[in-house]
């Protein structure tokens, strides 16, 4: 999946590929440590990291 996301090229429009790449690289996701609140928690952590 990571390789497919890295090779994907779409020009002219925004896509959600970058967030999928960050999720696939997240250690918790890779280890299977996630639940139905994962995306909310992940996006909040990403926002906090950008503000710091």
Q: Looking at residue 22, what is its pLDDT?
A: 92
Tell me the pLDDT band of 13, cut-offs 50, 70 and 90.
Answer: confident
* Residues 24, 2 contacting (CB under 8 angstroms): yes
Q: Indicate the number of domains in the chain.
A: 1
Per DSSP, helices labelled H in the chain are 2-7, 17-25, 27-31, 38-51
Domain span at 32: 2-51
Instruction: Scan for tokens 């926002």, then name that residue.
Output: 47
> Does residue 2 have a pLDDT over 90?
no
């Amino acid at each position: 999946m990571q390789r497919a996301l890295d090779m994907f090229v779409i020009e002219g429009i925004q896509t959600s590929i970058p967030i999928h790449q960050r999720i696939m690289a997240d250690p918790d996701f890779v280890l299977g440590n996630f639940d139905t609140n994962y995306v909310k928690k992940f996006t909040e952590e990403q926002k906090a990291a950008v503000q710091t």
